[in-house]
Amino acid sequence: MPTDPERVIIFDTTLRDGELAPGCSMTQPEKLRVARALAELGVDVIEAGFPAASRSDWESVHAVAEEIHGPIICALARCQRGDIELAAAALRAAPRHRLHVFVGTSPTHREHKLRMTPAQVLTVAVDGVASARALCGDIEFSPEDASRTELEFLAEVIERVIEAGATTINIPDTVGYTVPDEFSELFRYLRKNVRGIDKVTLSVHCHDDLGMAVANSLTAVVAGARQIECTVNGIGERAGNCSLEEVVMALRTRAAFFNLATGIQATRLYPVSRLVSNITGVLIPRNKAVVGENALVMQPLDVGQPRSTLILGRHSDPHALRERITALGFELDDAQFARVLGEFKALAERKKELFDGDIEALVLRAEGAASGPWELTQLRISSSSGPEGATATLSLKHRDGRVLEHSARGDGPVDAAFMALEVATGVKVALRKFEVRAVTEGQDAQGEAVVHVEYQDRTYRGASASTDIVEAGTRAFLEVINRIELTRAASVPQSAKQTDAA
């Protein structure tokens, strides 16, 4: 991909690296929703997944490659022929696609993870790039744990993979270990000592274990990198990845210093941030840079964050609601809008005034309307402060036509409702976290509930909102069960263990 020296390529890995955060796994429909939003945002590259990790990963990458046009669609593969062929097959439908191959290069990876000598690692890297280049013209290579690799060996590997056909060289700080001055020296060393490096795009991929992912990425750009790998809201395993919205707005707000631009539509940043937060269940802190409620570095409207005090109520007409949804940065088809309108009217009967946060919650719920097998049709709670605790009785409808009603007793109404769902569906999970926060202000505010559970060594999460926090929690828990049911229906043995490659 030709690189304008005044342009920084934004490589989004929310669907691959971001999904590694505990509880952030996404279903295929959710990945497609995020991919569509990323394309509208204007990212240059979407890393859609790691096809060799599982059949479901392969299918998700394939679906993104088939549907999403505009950005380059990328897939990750180890420097192994089997991985590379699976990735190439998953990407085949994409008009513009890239194979991203990697191998560990640091002493830690060579000695403890791969059990290879430097010479063996070099051979694997070159052979992997050559195999990928035979199947695709756009090849990215990552020396995993580059920031802890000996400079001379790192330079040798990069020079050889460029000769083998790599078109982008990514320098990952895989464990978030480096600091800005050290990282800039690494880039300057490579630019000075690697033959042919001026013919490829230099990329940077940083993790936030020491809180410096954004700083290190921007430092790398100053030192010559022209691609930044990042995720929406900075999600990712451990402390997360470089935050897309933060590096984009840093480059834009400090344009006089960086003299660089991106193709990102900044007014889409806030809606995309909220979408990813809703899908993953990772709440956005109030003090989060750029998209948090307290961020005041730039005008809120610059990133698509509304500051309107417009209030809607039960007498507001559908046209006013549609206009407000559009102003908030969301686009709904007729079926989704009809769903929002119905829920808006129902909510307006319970709340005198509906604010932007209320409407956002309705829209995000409609965009992600569950296709899971179970639907909650009725919930009744009986509770007291005495030793009797609470009893929950609920009715569920299955897509196959079954209607079930079950009751359960628990320490409180939420505990009783969760137990009733487990009995009704036959899905027993380990609850790890239950969070509730107010979507808007006031006594009649909607409460957004987020549930995290473990089931068969995997973390799942669900989210919902309602003026009744017991109902919100119950629907969030049912979303978890639906995710588990869908995963069980599509599960196949993994052919490769997913790793944080870069």
Residue 295 domain flag: no
Q: Give the tens place of pLDDT for each residue, 201-228.
A: 999 999 999 999 999 999 999 999 999 9
Counting every residue written for the chain, the total comes to 502
Identity at 432, one-letter amino acid code: R
pLDDT digits (tens, 9 = 90+) for 51-88: 999 999 999 999 999 999 999 999 999 999 999 999 99
Residues of the chain with pLDDT under 50: 1-3, 5, 309, 492-499
Spatial separation of the C-alpha atoms in residues 84 and 76, rounded to whole Å: 8
Question: Does 304 fall in a domain?
Answer: no
Considering Cα of 168, then 171, then 176, then 178, what sign does the dihedral take? negative
- Residue 226 has, within 13 A of its CA and on its CB side, a CA count of 18
CB 52 within 8 Å of CB 62: no
Closest by CA position to 59, among listed 83, 18, 91, 34: 91
User: Which residues make beta-bridge pairs with 204?
Assistant: 171, 228
| Domain CATH number, residue 480 | 3.30.160.270
Predicted TM-score (pTM) of the model is 0.81
In 249-402, where do the E strands start and end?
A: 374-383, 390-398
pLDDT value at position 314? Answer: 66
Question: Phi and psi of 173, rounded to 5°?
Answer: -100, 80
Instruction: Quote the tokens at residue 204.
Output: 């940077």
Tokens 């790890």 map to which residue?
Answer: 432
Judgement on whether residues 362 and 240 belong to the same structural domain of the protein? no
- At a CB cut-off of 8 Å and minimum separation 6, what does 495 contact? 52, 53, 54, 55, 86
Q: What is the DSSP string of 271-288?
A: HHHHHHHHHH--PPPTT-
Q: How many domains does the chain have?
A: 3
Same domain, yes or no: 378 and 469: yes
CA distances from 115 to 81, 105, 121, 309, 500 (A): 19, 11, 9, 60, 18
Q: According to the model, what pLDDT value does residue 44 have?
A: 98
390 and 343, same domain (yes or no): no
Taking CA 233 as the corner, what is the angle to CA 361 and CA 293, rounded to the nearest 5 degrees?
60
206: closest CA among 146, 288, 262, 266?
A: 146
Q: Are residues 50 and 170 in the same domain?
A: yes
Is residue 268 within 8 Å of residue 235, measured between CB atoms?
Answer: no
- Judge whether 302 lies within some domain: no
The pLDDT of residue 93 is 97
Q: Which two tokens stand for residue 285?
A: 């802190």
* pLDDT value of residue 6: 86
How far apart are alpha carbons 46 and 193 in whole angstroms? 30
**Which CATH number fits the domain that encloses residue 235?**
3.20.20.70
State how far the Cα of 140 lies from the Cα of 167, in Å rounded to an integer.
6
Residues 6+ apart with CB under 8 A from 294: 286, 287
State which residues form the domain around 107: 9-280
pLDDT score of 3: 47
pLDDT at 294: 77
Cα(31)–Cα(50) distance, integer angstroms: 13
**Which residues partner with 465 through β-bridges?**
448
Rounded Cα distance between 81 and 489, Å, is: 29
What is the per-residue pLDDT for 448?
82
Q: What angle do CA 288, 290, 293 make, to 5 degrees?
A: 60
Q: Are residues 109 and 73 in the same domain?
A: yes
If asked whether residues 336 and 484 sit together in one domain, one would say no
**Tokens at residue 405, please?**
């009603």
The answer to whether residue 498 sits within a structural domain is no
- Do 382 and 361 sit in the same domain of this protein? no
344 shares a domain with 390 = no
E-only strand ranges, 79-138: 97-104
Could you tell me if residue 424 is inside a domain? Answer: yes
Q: Are residues 33 and 119 in the same domain?
A: yes
Q: Which one, of 357, 378, 389, lies nearest residue 478 by Cα? A: 378
Cα 272 from Cα 267, distance rounded (Å): 10
